[in-house]
Each structure stands twice: as C-alpha cells, then as structure tokens.
C-alpha cells in the first residue's frame, strides 16, 4: 500500500496538477500562462486568464510523465511548449501526439479510448488508460480537438494500489457510463468543471453536470479543477458546491486552492489486479 505521506496532488491551477505516488511524478495538462494572458482555443478564439499559476514551468520538480487530455491553449500553452524537456513522455490523444511531434517533442504516446500505456521502475508500475470524453454536443464536437479522460493506476507488480480518474474536458454523455463499469473502484476522481462556453455551446461540465459525474463515477473522494481560471468559464465553483450539497455528496469532495497539496488517502479497497484492455505498454 502507498504511504499516504508520499501520495499527493499539488494544484498548480486550472487543470494542471502534480501527482506523486509510488516514486512516480505525473504532470497533467500543463498550463502556465499568467493573469491577463490569452489561451488560444482554435478557429481564432481565445480566452483571457483570470488567475496566476502556483508555480512556473521552470520551478517544476523532475517529472516522469505528462498526461495531456487534449490540445487546447488552457491545457497546453506556449510556455509548456517552450519550457518542457523535449524528451519527456507525454500520454495523450493521437491527435495531440501528432501536434506534439511537429513541435519537436520526441516521446508523445497517442492513445485511443481504452488503450493504456505503462511505465515501470523496478517492481513499481504506473499505468495510464484512456477513457471516453465528449467536448461538445452533437456535430459541434468536430470543431473541437479530440479529448480523453484517463485512469491512473499506481502499484507494485500486477496490483493496482491507488487508482485515480481524471475526467478531462467533457460534458455528461452516455459514453461515460462505461467508465464505472470497467473501473468500479476509483479511489480519487478529478473532475474538470467550468461550464466553458465556446461558440455559444457549453463544452465542459457545469456545476450540475459535475455533481452528476460524481454520482456516476462513484469515487471514494473527489477533487474539482478547471474552474474560475478563465473568462470562458461560465459556471463558478459555487455552482458545483451547491449541487454537491443538494445530492448529499459533500463528504466526498475536497476543495484545493492554487498551491495547496492534498495527501491522497490510503485506498479502502486494497490492492486489485490491473484491468487490461488494449494497450501499448
């Protein structure tokens, strides 16, 4: 079992986290733009940042792996592009992997839904599995880059001892129901909120959908991210708090400010076998 002192999530801001467990350090959706700078969303669209990140790209610890949900400017910005080591492994969608190669990154790992990639260090293992995500309703999703959620399994040998699920930028969609069927024992759920409005559409979960996601996924605990950082976010964190209270799940949710660390709990389930589907690692 992981030592709870050594398993943690540090909140940089937006969807950028530093996750540590089993001697692995994972960086998610690296976004280091400063207050007032604009994140580019494609099609000539952009959104201004309202907040400061908790640290700069030059202050990052040594990172073993980046998990990138998709190629949007509030998840992968020009500061990350220019500041990260070009040899760092980046697990992402196949669409984003192609873009990263053109930017000079030598180790992008493109996954389709349910594919996985594993990294081993001695008897310790980290496995990232791509899960469904839907960034916009109906045909409008063709205007936005493909997105993946991810399940991160940390463990020893063939036993997963800590399991996190990151929603990625998604709205509630029937395809998400397969996630708890394949992974019914999520220890920590990390939910992207914000109710982002693009081209008149809501393209990330608002407070109501975030609460519904929490009930669907059923994690032992949850961390909300991706809220209040950009002008395009139309649903404040207070909306999520309200709906979580309404459905009686307040006890599951831990709220982090930028620069705060959450010590990950020792899982109640104990070690469990990795669930293999298709894979690359």
- The DSSP element (H or E) to which 96 belongs, if any, is helix 94-102
Question: Alpha-carbon distance 259 to 57, whole Å?
Answer: 14
Q: Using one digit for the tens of pLDDT, what is the confidence trace for 211-266?
A: 999 999 999 999 999 999 999 999 999 999 999 999 999 999 999 999 999 999 76
Q: Which residues touch 82 (CB under 8 Å, ≥6 apart)?
A: none
Q: Which residues touch 29 (CB under 8 Å, ≥6 apart)?
A: 14, 15, 16, 17, 67, 68, 69, 75, 76
Per-residue confidence (pLDDT) for residue 44, from 0 to 100:
77
pLDDT at 119 exceeding the cut of 70: yes
Structure tokens at 137: 């309703």
Q: Using one digit for the tens of pLDDT, what is the confidence trace for 10-36?
A: 999 999 999 999 999 999 999 999 999
Question: Alpha-carbon distance 26 to 35, whole Å?
Answer: 24
Main-chain phi, psi angles of 61, to 5 degrees: -70, 175
Question: Alpha-carbon distance 210 to 81, whole Å?
Answer: 30
pLDDT at 276 exceeding the cut of 70: no
Per-residue confidence (pLDDT) for residue 137, from 0 to 100:
75
For β-strands 65-67 and 90-93, DSSP reports them as: parallel
Q: What is the pTM of this model?
A: 0.93
Q: Is 98 helix (H, G, I), strand (E, B) or coil?
A: helix
Question: If you average pLDDT over every residue of the chain, what do you get?
Answer: 92
Per-residue confidence (pLDDT) for residue 4, from 0 to 100:
45
- Are 189 and 221 in contact, with CB atoms under 8 Å apart? yes
């Amino acid at each position: 079992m992981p030592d709870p002192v050594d398993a943690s999530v540090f909140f940089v801001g937006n969807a950028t986290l530093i996750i540590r467990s089993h001697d692995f350090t994972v960086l998610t959706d690296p976004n280091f733009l400063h207050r007032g700078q604009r994140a580019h969303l494609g099609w000539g669209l952009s959104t201004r940042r309202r907040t400061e990140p908790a640290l700069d790209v030059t202050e990052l610890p040594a990172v073993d792996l980046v998990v990138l949900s998709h190629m949007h400017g509030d998840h992968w910005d020009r500061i990350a592009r220019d500041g990260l080591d070009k040899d760092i492994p980046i697990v992402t969608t196949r669409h984003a992997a192609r873009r990263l190669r053109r930017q000079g990154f030598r180790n992008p790992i493109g996954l389709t839904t349910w594919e996985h990639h594993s990294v081993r260090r001695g008897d310790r293992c980290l496995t990232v599995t791509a899960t469904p995500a839907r960034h916009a309703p109906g045909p409008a999703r063709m205007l936005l880059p493909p997105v993946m959620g991810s399940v991160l399994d940390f463990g020893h040998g063939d036993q997963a001892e800590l399991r996190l699920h990151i929603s990625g930028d998604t709205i509630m969609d029937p395809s998400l129901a397969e996630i708890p069927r394949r992974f019914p024992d999520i220890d920590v759920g990390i939910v992207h909120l914000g109710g982002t409005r693009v081209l008149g559409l809501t393209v990330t979960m608002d407070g109501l959908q975030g609460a519904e996601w929490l009930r669907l996924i059923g994690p032992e605990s949850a961390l909300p991210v991706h809220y209040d950082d950009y002008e395009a976010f139309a649903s404040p964190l207070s909306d999520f708090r309200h709906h979580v209270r309404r459905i009686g799940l307040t006890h599951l949710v831990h709220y982090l400010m930028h620069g705060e660390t959450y010590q990950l709990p020792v899982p109640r389930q104990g070690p469990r076998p990795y669930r293999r589907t298709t894979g690359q690692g």
